[in-house]
């Protein structure tokens, strides 16, 4: 009886289609843009809705394909299929599904337990028209990857993230169609492993190596030009790069236009702006750095910063790029130091018969000045009024009341030797009359 119960729990691709796209869930005439088509004789899928061309069937517990006739009858027009987070543990079942959907462009079987299943060549042939293939966290072997790539002549994008790879098993058969390889969140460390990817996928345009601990870009200029002749984008975020020589070698990729290199040990000791400037100055052909476009003005500023940053270093410690940039801009004078501390001035503060010389930060507000004067002069807490007297202009314009609490003092043009008159609010009318 337990065996029968287990069989009852098996969820097939066809059953999930039937449940998700049951006509009872989509009453006719509600503007859904779908039509009913006859079902094959004996099919469990009765009066099927014509399915959308993008099928998302993740988290459905699918472990089997189901009747291939039903799949062929209702999925012939489907171009994208997401089967992630299911229970598919046999390539034969996946092959049955894919082989009956002849127009598939995109297939996602991520998070399915496929590590123990063998992919036979005839099964891989069913993927022959697929151009985008997502195999994240399936822990498939490199042999399985090679079997797939050998039978997918149109494959352009391949996702192999979270598969536990600490090395790359090289195939003697290349996959010349592949343009994008995302192999993030694995355990690759040595460049000798990464270079195998260039040998197997010679027309790669985008290589995403983020969240691997790749420690270096350790190859000659000739080797890197030969291995990655078409590479336009490389993502090395959170890798283990710790030397500027590794950044310099990225220039050996002849078509490189985009670099991502956040979270690497090399840059930890620099602040955010210095990181970007130093990286940019080392990468003259890069148009996108860490996701942001590079303008001509930013590039020039970065290159000038680079010269000034290194110009006091001993000759033997100067990077190669320094000499190239000096030949472009010449030796630059150090930037003048600018004091950005708050501006101060000394004024006379008059309070009744008292006269105190007080130093004011002109960046503070009128409200902050009132608090300062209350503390310095031991003023009463029942409120005061402040009047600013310009020594040079007082005969012409008279005192100006500092009314707006949020207004900065520098906006009044206060200078050394001017006067601040403090008047208690309770006596404001009388005091104003004397003014």
Among the candidates 328, 363, 396, a domain finishes at: 328
Same domain, 324 and 350: no
Q: What is the pLDDT of residue 432?
A: 42
Same domain, 141 and 281: yes
Q: What is the pLDDT of residue 313?
A: 86
370-375-381 Cα angle (round to 5):
70
- In a domain, residue 321? The reply is yes
Q: Quick one: tokens of 182? A: 């995302």
DSSP state, residue 36: B
Same domain, 237 and 370: no
Determine the Cα–Cα distance for residues 272 and 99; give it in Å rounded to an integer.
51
Total count of domains within the chain:
2
Same domain, 284 and 235: yes
Same domain, 200 and 98: yes
Same domain, 228 and 362: no
Pairing of strands 384-389, 400-401: antiparallel
Q: SS3 for 7?
A: helix
**Is residue 207 a contact partner of residue 234, using CB atoms and an 8 Å limit?**
yes
- What's the CATH code of the domain at 382? 3.10.20.90
In tens, the pLDDT along 135-151 reads 999 999 999 999 999 99
Among the candidates 328, 360, 395, a domain finishes at: 328
**Is residue 361 a contact partner of residue 414, using CB atoms and an 8 Å limit?**
no
Which residues of the chain carry a pLDDT beneath 70? 1-8, 23-50, 335-343, 380-382, 395-396, 426-435
List, as one string, the DSSP characters of 315-364: GGG--HHHHHHHHHH-PPPPPPP---SPPEEEEEEEETTEEEEEEEETTS
- Domain range spanning residue 323? 2-328
In tens, the pLDDT along 155-195 reads 999 999 999 999 999 999 999 999 999 999 999 999 999 99
- In a domain, residue 335? The reply is no
Same domain, 361 and 315: no
- In a domain, residue 304? The reply is yes
- In a domain, residue 108? The reply is yes
Determine the Cα–Cα distance for residues 351 and 413; give it in Å rounded to an integer.
22
Q: Quick one: tokens of 102? A: 């002849």
Residue 230 CA neighbour count, 13 Å, CB half: 15
Same domain, 51 and 194: yes
Same domain, 234 and 139: yes
């Amino acid at each position: 009886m337990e065996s029968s119960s287990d069989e009852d729990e098996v969820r097939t691709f066809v059953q999930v289609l039937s449940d998700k796209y049951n006509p009872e869930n989509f009453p006719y005439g509600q503007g859904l843009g779908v039509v009913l088509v006859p079902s094959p004789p004996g099919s469990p899928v009765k009066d099927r809705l014509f399915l959308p061309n993008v099928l998302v069937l993740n988290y459905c517990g699918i472990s089997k394909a189901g009747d291939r006739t039903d799949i062929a009858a209702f999925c012939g027009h489907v171009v994208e299929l997401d089967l992630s987070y299911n229970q598919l543990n046999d390539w034969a079942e996946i092959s049955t599904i894919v082989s009956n959907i002849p127009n598939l462009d995109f297939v996602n079987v991520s998070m399915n337990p496929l590590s123990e299943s063998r992919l036979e060549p005839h099964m891989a042939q069913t993927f022959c028209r697929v151009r985008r293939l997502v195999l994240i966290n399936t822990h498939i072997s490199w042999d399985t990857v090679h079997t797939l790539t050998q039978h997918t002549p149109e494959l352009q994008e391949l996702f192999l993230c979270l598969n536990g790879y600490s090395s790359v098993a090289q195939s003697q058969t290349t996959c010349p169609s592949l343009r994008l390889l995302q192999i993030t969140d694995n355990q690759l460390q040595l460049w000798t492993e990464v270079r195998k990817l260039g040998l197997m996928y010679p027309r790669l345009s985008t290589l995403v190596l983020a969240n691997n601990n790749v420690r270096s870009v350790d190859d000659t200029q000739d080797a890197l030009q030969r291995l990655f002749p078409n590479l336009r984008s490389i993502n090395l975020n959170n890798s283990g790069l710790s030397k500027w020589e590794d950044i310099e070698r990225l220039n050996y990729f002849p078509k490189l236009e985009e670099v991502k290199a956040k979270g690497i040990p090399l840059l930890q000791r620099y602040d955010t702006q210095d990181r970007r400037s130093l990286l940019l100055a080392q990468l003259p052909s890069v148009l996108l750095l860490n996701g942001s476009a590079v303008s001509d003005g930013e590039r020039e500023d970065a290159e000038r910063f680079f010269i000034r940053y290194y110009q006091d270093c001993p000759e033997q410690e100067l990077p190669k790029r320094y000499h190239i940039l000096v030949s472009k801009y010449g030796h630059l004078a150090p930037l003048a130091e600018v004091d950005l501390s708050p501006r101060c001035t000394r004024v006379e503060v008059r309070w009744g018969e008292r006269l105190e010389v007080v130093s004011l930060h002109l960046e503070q507000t009128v409200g902050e000045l009132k608090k300062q004067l209350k503390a310095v002069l031991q003023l009463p807490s029942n409120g005061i009024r402040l009047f600013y007297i310009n020594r040079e202009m007082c005969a012409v314009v008279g005192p100006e009341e500092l009314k707006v609490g949020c207004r900065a003092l520098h906006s009044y043009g206060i200078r050394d030797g001017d006067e601040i008159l403090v008047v208690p609010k309770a006596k404001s009318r009388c005091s104003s009359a004397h003014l």
